[in-house]
Amino acid sequence: MNARHPDPSRLVSQAFKLFPHLARSRLTLVEGGWVNWVFAGGGYVLKTPRTKRNWSNLAKEACVLQALGGELDSRVPQPLALLNARSRIHPPILVCNRVAGSTLANANSYTDEEMAVISSKLIRMLERIHASKGYVKCGRRVPRFNPGSWKAMQRRRLVSMMRHAEHLIPPPLRRLVVDDVSAWCGPGGITGFQPAFIHGDIDPRNILVDSKFNIGLIDWGDCMVGDPAFDYAGLFFDRRLGEEALRFGKSRPEADFAGRMSFYRRVSPLYTVEYGLRLHQPAMVRAGVDRLAEEYREEL
């Protein structure tokens, strides 16, 4: 399966054969999926990975969603079928029910009062997720990091992304990012947090809000046990959402929680650059570089 040339009709037809209920729905391709091709219609969502490197994440997502269903009720998708789960030839296809609501991709459409309600509920949901132990049912599918291994993983990931994007980032900005990564992922950087289950991909596109301002979370393929500050940093993909949500957060026992969260927020545009390069989308790459420059604007 090629990321440039998908064959949606073939994938949907295969799902129809293996899961007949889907044949009565009108599935259409949803734009914006970075890791998976996503189709929605008739109360269903169908997901299949863009590349083979993401096949295992879909099985993890199916397991975690099933485990979380009893804790978070209708606020996360419920898996109905995982097709081709054991195939080494055909990509897996995850079929879930569709969670009600629209994404928070355009948070500016809400009033200050509405954003206060949304942010309060979102923080409460994150706290429930971070306290959850449901992931243990999924065994080794869910990666688990202590502070030391988490810091090493973050360093590997960020250094790799910088190498892929270094020709696109102006030298002064590149030096700032490299120094930041060295400081926070070095000996005196990220330390002492209490590992917790995290969503791992908090982004306004993955947050759903219904007409009663109930919160839903989708796209759990990057969930893991790690630093809760990473989830809070994801809220700042929309700065208004992040600043508003933090007003409702409980005080944190770790002295450097705010520092870690700020670091994750500053380097987060590298993910946009990475996916833009992977998906051959120059506009996404440029948006990521521009946002990275904005994060370090005061130091440039």
Q: At 66, which CATH number?
A: 3.30.200.20
Judged against a pLDDT cut of 50, whether residue 90 lies above it is answered with yes
Judged against a pLDDT cut of 50, whether residue 3 lies above it is answered with no
The dihedral region occupied by 31, where left means phi > 0, alpha psi between -120 and 50, and beta the remainder, is beta
Q: Under DSSP, is residue 28 helix (H, G, I), strand (E, B) or coil?
A: strand
Q: How many domains does the chain have?
A: 2
Instruction: Out of 97, 125, 145, pick the residue that ends a domain.
Output: 97
pLDDT at residue 251 in the model: 55
Both 172 and 24 in one domain: the answer is no
Q: How many CA atoms lie within 13 A of 281 on its CB side?
A: 17
Token pair 């570089």 is found at: 289
**145 neighbors 195 (Cβ within 8 angstroms):** yes
Token pair 């928070």 is found at: 104
* 259 in a structural domain: yes
The letter for the amino acid at 234 is G
Separation of alpha carbons 49 and 92, rounded Å: 7
Both 139 and 285 in one domain: the answer is yes
Q: Which residues pair with 28 in a beta bridge?
A: 40
* CATH number of the domain residue 250 falls in: 3.90.1200.10
Separation of alpha carbons 158 and 280, rounded Å: 20
Separation of alpha carbons 26 and 175, rounded Å: 49
pLDDT at residue 179 in the model: 97
Tokens describing residue 286: 């440029």
Instruction: Look at 129 and 29; give whichever has higher pLDDT.
Output: 129
What rounded mean pLDDT belongs to the chain? 88
pLDDT at residue 86 in the model: 85
| Eight-state DSSP code of residue 86 | T
pLDDT in tens, 132-150: 999 999 999 999 999 999 9
Both 235 and 290 in one domain: the answer is yes
Both 83 and 232 in one domain: the answer is no
For residue 67, count other CB atoms closer than 10 A to its CB. 18
Both 252 and 195 in one domain: the answer is yes
Of 70-79, 116-125, 243-252, minimum mean pLDDT range: 243-252
pLDDT at residue 237 in the model: 80
pLDDT in tens, 201-212: 998 889 999 999
pLDDT at residue 131 in the model: 94
| For the chain, percent of residues with pLDDT exceeding 70 | 94
Both 90 and 106 in one domain: the answer is no
Separation of alpha carbons 176 and 65, rounded Å: 38
pLDDT at residue 248 in the model: 65
**69 neighbors 76 (Cβ within 8 angstroms):** yes
pLDDT at residue 9 in the model: 66
Q: What share of the chain is helix, strand, coil (3-state, %, to 5)?
A: 55, 15, 30
Both 195 and 278 in one domain: the answer is yes
Instruction: Out of 97, 116, 140, pick the residue that ends a domain.
Output: 97
For residue 244, count other CB atoms closer than 10 A to its CB. 21
Both 111 and 92 in one domain: the answer is no
Separation of alpha carbons 37 and 50, rounded Å: 6
Of 11-20, 34-43, 56-65, which one has max mean pLDDT?
A: 56-65
Of 30-34, 152-156, 168-172, minimum mean pLDDT range: 30-34
* 134 in a structural domain: yes
Q: Under DSSP, is residue 226 helix (H, G, I), strand (E, B) or coil?
A: strand
Both 135 and 93 in one domain: the answer is no
Instruction: Out of 73, 97, 121, pick the residue that ends a domain.
Output: 97
pLDDT in tens, 161-180: 999 999 999 999 999 999 99
Q: Show the beta-strand stretches assigned E in 42-108.
A: 44-49, 79-83, 93-97, 102-103
pLDDT in tens, 271-293: 999 999 998 999 999 999 999 99
Judged against a pLDDT cut of 70, whether residue 6 lies above it is answered with no
* 140 in a structural domain: yes
Separation of alpha carbons 299 and 180, rounded Å: 11
pLDDT at residue 77 in the model: 93
* 2 in a structural domain: no
For residue 18, count other CB atoms closer than 10 A to its CB. 13
Separation of alpha carbons 139 and 26, rounded Å: 35
Mean pLDDT of 85-90: 84
pLDDT at residue 272 in the model: 93
Of 21-35, 150-164, 217-231, minimum mean pLDDT range: 21-35
CA neighbor of 295 nearest in space, from 180, 158, 143: 180
Q: Are strands 28-30 and 36-41 parallel, antiparallel or unpaired?
A: antiparallel
In which domain, by residue range, is 235 found? 102-299
* 234 in a structural domain: yes
Both 44 and 191 in one domain: the answer is no
Whole-prediction pTM value? 0.92
